[in-house]
A = this chain, B = another copy of it.
């Protein structure tokens, strides 16, 4: 049990808090959002490029470029439509990830409710084993989707539990199999009836379904062709943008090009970031906190005690956006 360190996650997991109706507070968080900072850096680069172009043309007095503004505008609208498509697919992936972890919460709670009502109130040993085993699933999945399972974070369900788990290639599958073994044992001991097995099943299989779907999201970015195609389109479009503005705006071409680049690059970059919701950027999902909350819920429902320090992790001191 003691394997869970009481210290809280460091600042690099810090999630951005904001009240969505307050515009000014939102601006204050600018610095903590990595992707927004990277975006501003790139916008600056475009600004330098626009400055060079503008300076050159003004220096050599070639401001009377003729441009077909309607054509340029149509190309821009087409690009915008593609970017919205791209945004949609990225957001869908982000939200599907969130939905899956919400489903994991539901599955774990329902499993706990079902076993709580069936396990004898006095069988504290089985209750504890089950609570820890189940609570380990989201913790292991969190690691599995990121840098690899951190075994020291898991609960020691019985003696040598964590040690035996280290041999597994696919830890979530192993935990699911251990749960199924437990159900079969309880069935043999007549604690569960066959009908209970049927009612348990949907939630139990839901664990691996969530794991598999998260792996899918992680492993499937938008097809390379689209990604490349859109990046190519934006690059060319931004590069010719100053030439379209020069004759009208002279030196104002520089900030206006930067504004245009901000819009186009921004949508594309946020899409790139959002489409992997299992990373560790400030926009990613707080998997660790959700896993901690599931642990607290499951232990409460089953009436199994959890050290206060571990329980406290579920209500992290920082509020979480997602």
Residues of A bordering B, CB below 8 Å: 16, 18, 20-21, 23, 26-27, 29-30, 33, 35-36, 39, 66-85, 87-89, 91, 94-95, 98-99, 102-103, 105-106, 109-110, 112-114, 116-118, 168-170, 173-174, 176-177, 180-181, 183-184, 193-199, 201-203, 205, 208-209, 212-213, 215-216, 219-229, 231-233, 235-236, 240, 244-245, 248-249, 256, 259-260, 262-264, 266-267, 269-270, 272-276, 282-283, 296-297, 300-301, 320-322
What residues of B have a CB within 8 angstroms of the CB of A320 in the complex?
219
List residues of chain B with CB within 8 A of the CB of A221.
18, 20, 321-322
Given contacts A26-B231, A85-B87, 13 further A-B contacts (CB under 8 A): A18-B224, A67-B248, A69-B70, A71-B244, A74-B77, A78-B263, A78-B264, A89-B95, A99-B216, A116-B181, A173-B297, A223-B321, A233-B266
Residue pair B73, A109 in contact (C-beta under 8 Å): no
State the oligomeric state as a number of copies: 5
Out of B27, B68, B98, B270, name the residue touching A245 (CB < 8 Å).
Answer: B68
- Evaluate contact between B75 and A77: CB separation under 8 angstroms: no
Q: Are A205 and B203 in contact (CB under 8 A)?
A: yes
Query: For the complex, would chain A's binding face be called helix, strand, loop or mixed by DSSP majority?
Result: helix
Those 5 A-B pairs whose CB atoms lie nearest each other, nearest first: A194-B195, A117-B180, A69-B70, A102-B216, A78-B80
On whether A263 and B79 interact (CB within 8 A), knowing A71-B245, A226-B270, A297-B173, the answer reads yes
Q: Which of B66, B88, B199 contacts A197 (CB 8 A)?
A: B199
In whole angstroms, what is the CA distance A16 to B85 when docked?
22
What is the minimal beta-carbon distance from A7 to any residue of chain B, in angstroms?
23
Given contacts A102-B212, A263-B233, is CB(A180)–CB(B224) below 8 Å? no
Taking the closest CB of chain B, its distance from the CB of A31, in whole angstroms, is 11
Q: How far is the CA of A181 from the CA of B302 in the complex (A)?
A: 12
Q: How far is the CA of A112 from the CA of B181 in the complex (A)?
A: 12
Q: Are A249 and B66 in contact (CB under 8 A)?
A: yes
25 contacts between A and B (CB under 8 A): A20-B222, A20-B272, A26-B224, A35-B225, A70-B72, A71-B76, A72-B74, A73-B74, A74-B76, A75-B259, A76-B77, A81-B83, A81-B84, A89-B95, A95-B220, A102-B212, A110-B208, A113-B180, A117-B180, A194-B194, A201-B202, A219-B322, A223-B322, A224-B321, A233-B262
